């Protein structure tokens, strides 16, 4: 098995950027609640804050779904070629297969305790 990639793919970098932007905007909106009501940032977020948060939420959801679809496509392509997926994860069914091999037909564990 190859070692996991050291860098994230582009879709996951976009998820990181969109998530960071969302968190920054949410913190800015929270910070403006403690400021003077007539301050320019406060007026800006009172006017456009909800719209910005909604747009960023939709953007984050779209980018996250795209990243998951890209990862799934990459994993399936690697499996078709007989390679292990280059995402650093192991096959989730491996522990179940090992468990099935170490039990008898009654389901009792054959391994010594």
78/71 Cα distance (integer angstroms): 11
pLDDT value of position 9:
85
Flag whether pLDDT at 53 surpasses 70.
yes
**In the structure encoding, which two tokens stand for residue 37, read together?**
């009501």
**In the structure encoding, which two tokens stand for residue 25, read together?**
């905007």
Flag whether pLDDT at 95 surpasses 60.
no
pLDDT in tens, 22-36: 999 999 999 998 989
Give the three-state DSSP class for 103: strand
Flag whether pLDDT at 98 surpasses 90.
no
pLDDT value of position 20:
97
- From the list 84, 83, 101, the residue with the least C-alpha distance to 92 is 84
Flag whether pLDDT at 77 surpasses 80.
yes
Q: Write down the residue that tokens 């007026």 correspond to.
A: 43
Angle at 99 between CA 95 and CA 103, to 5 degrees: 175
């Amino acid at each position: 098995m190859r070692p996991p990639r050291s860098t994230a793919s582009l879709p996951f970098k976009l998820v990181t950027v969109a998530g960071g932007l969302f968190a920054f905007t949410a913190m800015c909106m929270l910070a403006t609640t403690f400021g003077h009501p007539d301050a320019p940032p406060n007026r800006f977020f009172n006017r456009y804050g909800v719209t910005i948060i909604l747009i960023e939420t939709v953007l984050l959801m779209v980018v996250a779904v795209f990243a998951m679809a890209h990862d799934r496509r990459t994993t399936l392509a690697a499996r078709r070629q007989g390679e292990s997926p280059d995402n650093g994860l192991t096959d989730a069914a491996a522990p179940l297969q090992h468990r099935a091999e170490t039990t008898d037909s009654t389901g009792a564990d054959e391994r010594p305790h």
